[in-house]
A and B are shown apart, each in its own frame.
Chain A
Amino acid sequence: MAQVKASMAGTVLTVLVSQGDQVEAGQDVIILESMKMEVPVQADQPGRVKEIKVEAGAFVNDGEVLIELEE
């Protein structure tokens, strides 16, 4: 199962997808805010959003799972 992980430590600014959405590889799925920058996080591979693990405002560490995807 594919996962979307945080590329760096920061706060979740916006979740761009909803459960059940189909996403493409390279699509921005979450925007983090870190170091006062907007940091888009992409899905590495295509899939359907199975579970969103975080909500806006949450602190996440580098490598933390944000979204679970399924085939």
Chain B
Amino acid sequence: MKDTWLEQLEENLKKVKAGGAPKYHEKLEQQKKLFVRKRLELLFDDEFQLEDGLFANFTAGDLPADGVVTAIGKIHGQIVCVMANDATVKAGSWGARTVEKIIRIQETAEKLKVPLLYLVDSAGARITDQIEMFPGRRGAGRIFYNQVKLSGVIPQICILFGPSAAGGAYIPAFCDVVIMVDKNASMYLGSPRMAEMVIGEKVSLEEMGGARMHCSVSGCGDVLAATEEEAIASARRYLSYFPPNYEQKPPKMAGKNPPEGARRIAEIVPDNQNAPFDMMELITSLVDEGSFYEIKQLFARELITGFARLDGRVVGIIANQSKVKGGVLFVDSADKAARFITLCDAFNIPLLFLADVPGFMIGTQVERAGIIRHGAKMISAMSEATVPKVSVIVRKAYGAGLYAMAGPAFEPDACLALPTAQIAVMGPEAAVNAVYSNKIAELEEPERTKFVMEKREEYKKDIDIYRLASELIVDGIVSPDELRKELIGRFAAYENKQVIFSRRKHPVYPV
């Protein structure tokens, strides 16, 4: 072969791999962003990287790789597929070949049944190319169609480094998890400029579609990262809890004890049912040290969702946080739970419910927001989950709260109670008021208080946890000191559980 051919190839490869013009690289630096190839270097285990379509749109001259890198690499030794926008090439916008490359890497991930990561930093469609890239069979719409098709087959992870605008905002929307870089990441259908022109609203990008807003208010974001490095590390960590596809089980690791000096669960849970405590502290005392990875930490904080390990085995935890809004279930917390349960069930991650819930919120505001249909979503997702499922009644579990937290009627493999557990349609205070309201109204003080107290005590006896165990409603009463050991044993025993929930095309989902 002629040396000039080799030189030419070397030169062309170098040119394409350099991305866009130097001024765009400078802009990246100003925005504290990394070049797409640096991002991939941080994402993958090592140098192993296979790339297709590097010469896409080469003949155009100024569109290296057509603004997107599609590659195969390794994370924790596992093959993964990646599409990554290059913001130095026309602001990461999508042309016809950009879209084709994204579709092809999706098809590759589908065939290989491996996780697919979307590293998004894109201004959206190139309007100049719209006929080629927007409406057709293999236009941008096909990217979303594929995402929906792949949902639950392979993990789909989005790291959002920059904008994800208009139609492009649906890439994160169809992923299992969205990790957003604070200050830089944004998602919106219409930009602030468009909002001002079309509806007259004046608003900043951060307020309307910023990372923090999406991670705390809209719920479109799952993890807020301070830097790009942190976001990439977070995505790698997230994948450590997942199998490569729905046919396999999550990887088991060596177990670790909870941290030294963690308080005993018996000390953490207060005697007073109505006093708040920090459920996060209980989780820390229960699971392998450093193993908790929280999903939606800033959103609907009255419910905690996240992955952890129990003696090295992955579990998904759903826990009521009484420290926030009394641990009551709201519209957003019900959605958060439904989504997380579906995610775990799709990828064979067993579920652990830690119940301390006064019920679903009541009142005009939440009824108007449709709390019933949102609650139905949570109960539906929890019912359908066929992975090993254990509910622990930590303290109270009242009303539909018991149902939503995998109560006995919902086929948990076990419903365990701590001695502090209290299961009832409602708490003693509310129940006595409901049953004896006329009588209470008739009485004068001090008889009234005396009567109410007596009735509350009677009621507490009626719902005594030993009575519920005696009636086989709960499967056991466990010492909080033994809870970790019990759960490790349970999840090990249930590992090969196989259940078909229902034969049908699909349920009519509550939404």
Q: Give the B-binding residues of A (Cβ under 8 A).
A: 7-9, 34-40, 61-62
From known contacts A36-B429, A38-B326, A39-B326, infer whether A62 and B365 are also in contact, taking CB-CB under 8 Å. Answer: yes
| Extra pairs beyond A35-B362, A36-B427, A61-B365 (10, CB < 8 Å) | A9-B361, A34-B325, A35-B358, A35-B359, A37-B276, A37-B322, A37-B326, A39-B325, A39-B326, A62-B365
Q: Tell me if B276 and A34 are in contact (CB < 8 A).
A: no
CB atoms of A35 and B365 under 8 A apart: no
Name the residue of chain A whose CB is nearest to the CB of B272: A38
Contacts A7-B325, A8-B325, A8-B328 given: A37-B365 contact, CB under 8 Å? no
Instruction: Chain A residues near B274: list those with CB within 8 A.
Output: 36-38
CB distance from A39 to the nearest CB of B (A): 5
A9 lies within 8 A of B326 (CB): no
**Could you say which of A37, A40, A61 contacts B328, with CB atoms under 8 Å apart?**
A37
A35 near B328 with CB under 8 A, answer yes
User: Could you say which of A7, A39, A61 has the most chain B C-beta atoms within 10 Å of its C-beta?
Assistant: A39
Residues of A within 8 A of B276 (CB): 37-40
What residues of B have a CB within 8 angstroms of the CB of A39 in the complex?
276, 325-326
Chain B contacts for A40, CB-based, 8 A: 276, 323
Q: 5 closest Cβ contacts across the A-B interface?
A: A37-B326, A35-B358, A39-B326, A9-B363, A8-B325
Nearest residue, chain B, Cβ from A41: B325
Note all chain B residues with C-beta closer than 8 A to A37.
274, 276, 322, 326-328, 358
Q: Which residue of A lies closest to B362 (CB)?
A: A35
Interface 0/1 of B196-210, CB less than 8 Å to A: 000000000000000
On whether A9 and B365 interact (CB within 8 A), knowing A35-B359, A36-B274, A36-B429, the answer reads yes
Interface residues of B (CB under 8 A from A): 274-276, 322-328, 330, 358-359, 361-363, 365-366, 427, 429-430
Of all chain A residues, the one with the shortest Cβ separation from B275 is A38
CB distance from A41 to the nearest CB of B (A): 10
User: Which chain B positions have C-beta within 8 A of A7?
Assistant: 324-325
Please measure, in the bound complex, the distance between the C-alpha atom of A9 and the C-alpha atom of B363, giving whole angstroms.
Answer: 8
Given contacts A9-B363, A62-B365, contact A36 B324 (CB under 8 A): no
- A contact residues around B359 at 8 Å (CB): 35
11 cross-chain CB contacts under 8 A? A7-B325, A8-B330, A35-B358, A35-B361, A36-B358, A36-B427, A37-B274, A37-B276, A37-B328, A38-B274, A39-B276
Task: Point out the residues of chain B lying under 8 angstroms from A38, CB to CB.
Answer: 274-276, 326
For the complex formed, measure the closest distance between the CB of B7 and the CB atoms of chain A, giving whole angstroms. 62
A-side contacts of B330, CB under 8 Å = 8
CB distance from B115 to the nearest CB of A (A): 37
Q: Indicate if the CB atoms of A36 and B430 lie closer than 8 Å.
A: yes
Contacts of B362 in A (CB 8 A): 35
Minimum C-beta distance from B375 to chain A (A): 14
**Chain A residue nearest to B329 in the complex (CB):** A35
CA A38 to CA B178, docked complex, whole Å: 33
Report the bound CA distance from A7 to B275 in whole Å: 16
Complex: A25 Cα to B324 Cα, angstroms:
16
> How far, in angstroms, from A13 to B429 measured CA to CA in the complex?
15
Q: Smallest distance from the beta carbon of A9 to chain B beta carbons, Å?
A: 5
Instruction: List residues of chain A with CB within 8 A of the CB of B327.
Output: 37
Nearest CB in chain B: distance from A43 CB, A: 15
Q: How far is the CA of A38 from the CA of B366 in the complex (A)?
A: 19
Q: Are B427 and A8 in contact (CB under 8 A)?
A: no
Q: Which residues of A contact B275 (CB under 8 A)?
A: 38
Contacts of B363 in A (CB 8 A): 9
Q: Give the complex CA separation of A46 and B181 in angstroms.
A: 27
Known contacts A34-B328, A37-B327, A39-B276, A8 near B361 by CB under 8 Å? yes
Q: Which of A7, A9, A35, A39 has most chain B Cβ within 10 Å?
A: A35
Q: Output the least CB separation between B474 and chain A (Å).
A: 22
Q: Chain A residues with Cβ under 8 A from B326's Cβ? A: 8, 34-35, 37-39
State the CA gap A40–B427 with chains docked (Å). 20
How far is the CB of B370 from the nearest CB of chain A, in Å?
A: 15
Which residue of B is nearest A8, CB measured? B325
**Within the assembled complex, what's the spacing in Å between the Cα atoms of A37 and B361?**
11
**Chain B residues with CB under 8 A of A62:** 365
A67 CB to nearest B CB, Å: 18
Query: B388: shortest Cβ distance to chain A, in Å?
Result: 31
